[in-house]
Amino acid sequence: MKVAELVSPLARVVRSVDARWHRAWLPHVRDVVFDARTAMDYGMMAPVHRRLLADPRVRTWLMSSERPHRVGDIFREAPREAAVVSPGEAIMSRTSSCGALGETCSP
């Protein structure tokens, strides 16, 4: 049996418990991660990101899963109050992800 076969079901259970706890504790708050590969990707997402920043029901995070070492360059046009999360931190959290290039948001 491979390690992934053991970890995957465990990860699903932990995420399920975390989602239920979060919905009970903060039922009106959702977390959304904007994942951009380039500054142009963020430029396409920026209007949506800025609107969500003004919504108290939504917490937004910025991430570059493919180029985490370049987040400063990629998100240089982002508002200063925008939070940045590393790919590792995003994996461990319960968020919705929005990517560029027509990708849909997933819970």
Render pLDDT for 55-105 as a digit per residue (tens, 0 to 9): 998 889 899 988 989 999 999 999 988 888 888 777 666 554 555 444 444
Give the structural domain span for 51.
Answer: 29-99
Domain-located, residue 81? yes
Task: For residues 25-36, give the mean pLDDT.
Answer: 82
Q: Do the domain assignments include residue 3? A: no
**CA 98, CA 89: separation in Å to the nearest integer?**
16
In this predicted model, what pLDDT tens digit does every residue of 62-75 receive, in sequence order? 999 889 899 999 99
Q: Is residue 1 part of a domain?
A: no
Q: Report the domain count for the chain.
A: 1
pLDDT of amino acid 106? 46
Asked if residue 49 belongs to a domain, the reply is: yes
Backbone φ and ψ for 106, nearest 5 degrees, come out as -125, 140
Please report whether residue 90 resides in a domain: yes
Is 7 a residue whose pLDDT tops 60? yes
